[in-house]
């Protein structure tokens, strides 16, 4: 068997229950582009988890979900406020800027989380024609640094955004990891706290591909079907995305994988923390572990285990657990790290 590494939850395969659902959906013909019973059932499940009054549309990938969700709620003279570490800022090759025309106003954070006090100074140009007009606060939940916004923090950001006439967008590629971390339902950390638009991840949670853009005010989605098609994210064989979401959301699969992955991340961090040469740098609140490992050991470690160096300057690495990470994987990795850094 090919070794499991800790580089990304995207490196994991597909959950067997998802494969089963895809296989079951592979019978006969249904109407293409989403006018099919699988999609109708999946949309109902989204309504069950996120509330009845939503509009939801499926897309292929996370970048597509973020970019098109943001495009639906912005104009090109506006700005999107985000953390410097946000996927929209550093990992989407400028697609948010290209597709929306908006300027991204990125804020440096210690832990991937935005706070109201950091946002306020960016709002002085509101109403001034020489300046871009901040229209959206975009946050990631869980964050790219493995931290999780509390319900209170989310509520504070949403209320502030709304007071300023802005909207709150959430990149929820790992929303399920955040929900289980908080012991909350999906609705409690989105609709109930005032989120306006959400990218809901499926891929990192064991789907082959497929993400959803959820609008908590359906009026915001009025043009989305055109935006999605023009944005090349309309799947003709939509039933195969929908069948995966149906499998995810009809039982507890949506939270089983993240519960396990989060637990594995905590275990990994706990074991690494016992090594004096290694320093855990972020609270482990979801499925990511950030650690400073002295530079001289990294090549030897990467020879056997692939992972990313997150911050070259301080030799901080990112290690991710997935739904299929096992305790043996962690034991073997930690044993190898211990031997390498000795």
Ligand X SMILES: Cc1ncc(COP(=O)(O)O)c(C=O)c1O
Binding site for ligand X (CB under 6 A): 10, 61-63, 87, 140, 144, 171, 173, 203
**Nearest CB to ligand X, comparing residues 34 and 69:** 69
Please give the Cα distance from 130 to 126 (Å, whole number): 10
| C-beta nearest to ligand X: residue | 62
**Sequence-separated (6 or more) residues with CB below 8 Å from residue 262:** 177, 180, 181, 285, 286, 287, 321
Minimum distance from CB of 28 to ligand X (Å)? 30
Q: How far is the CB of 25 from ligand X (least distance, A)?
A: 21
Separation CA 100–CA 316 (nearest Å): 32
Q: Cα 74 vs. chain centroid, distance in angstroms?
A: 20
Q: Residue 66 corresponds to which tokens in the numbers above?
A: 């973020």
Cβ at position 9, least distance to ligand X in Å: 8
How far apart are the C-alpha atoms of 339 and 337, rounded to whole Å?
A: 5
Of residues 96 and 132, the one with the C-beta less far from ligand X: 96
Closer residue to ligand X in complex, CB, 190/203: 203
Bridge partners (DSSP) listed for residue 292: 279, 316
- From the CB of 198, what's the least distance to ligand X, in Å? 12
Q: How far apart are CA 215 and CA 170, in angstroms?
A: 11
Between 71 and 87, whose beta carbon lies closer to ligand X?
87
> What is the nearest approach in angstroms of ligand X to the Cβ of residue 306?
15
SS3 state of residue 71? helix
Pick 82 or 161: Cβ nearer ligand X: 82
């Amino acid at each position: 068997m090919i070794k499991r590494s800790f580089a990304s939850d995207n490196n994991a395969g597909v959950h067997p229950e998802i494969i089963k659902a895809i296989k079951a959906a592979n019978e006969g013909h249904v109407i293409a582009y989403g006018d099919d019973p699988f999609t109708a059932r999946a949309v109902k499940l989204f309504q069950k988890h996120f509330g009845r009054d939503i509009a939801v549309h499926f897309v292929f990938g996370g970048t597509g979900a973020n970019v098109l969700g943001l495009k639906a709620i912005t104009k090109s003279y506006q700005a999107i406020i985000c953390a410097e570490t946000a996927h929209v800022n550093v990992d989407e090759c400028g697609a948010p800027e290209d597709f929306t025309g908006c300027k991204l106003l990125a804020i440096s954070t210690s832990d991937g989380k935005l706070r109201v006090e950091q946002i306020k100074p960016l709002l002085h140009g509101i109403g001034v024609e020489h300046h871009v007009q901040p229209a959206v606060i975009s946050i990631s939940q869980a964050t790219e640094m493995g931290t999780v916004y509390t319900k209170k923090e989310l509520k504070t950001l949403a209320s502030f955004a709304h007071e300023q006439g802005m909207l709150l967008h959430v990149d929820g590629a790992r929303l399920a990891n955040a929900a289980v971390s908080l012991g909350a339902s999906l609705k409690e950390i989105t609709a109930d706290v005032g989120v306006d638009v959400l990218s809901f991840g499926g891929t990192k949670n064991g789907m082959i591909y497929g993400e959803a853009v959820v609008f908590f005010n359906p009026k915001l989605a009025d043009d989305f079907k055109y935006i999605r098609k023009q944005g090349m994210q309309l799947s003709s064989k939509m039933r195969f995305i929908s069948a995966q979401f149906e499998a995810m959301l009809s039982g507890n699969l949506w939270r089983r994988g993240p519960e396990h992955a989060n637990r594995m991340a905590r275990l990994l961090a706990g074991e690494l923390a016992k090594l004096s040469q290694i320093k855990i740098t972020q609270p482990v609140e979801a499925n990511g572990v950030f650690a400073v490992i002295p530079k001289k050991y990294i090549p030897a470690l990467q020879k056997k285990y692939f992972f990313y160096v997150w911050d070259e300057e301080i030799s901080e690495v990112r290690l991710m657990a997935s739904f299929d990470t096992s305790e043996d994987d962690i034991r073997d990795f930690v044993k190898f790290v211990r031997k390498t850094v000795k």
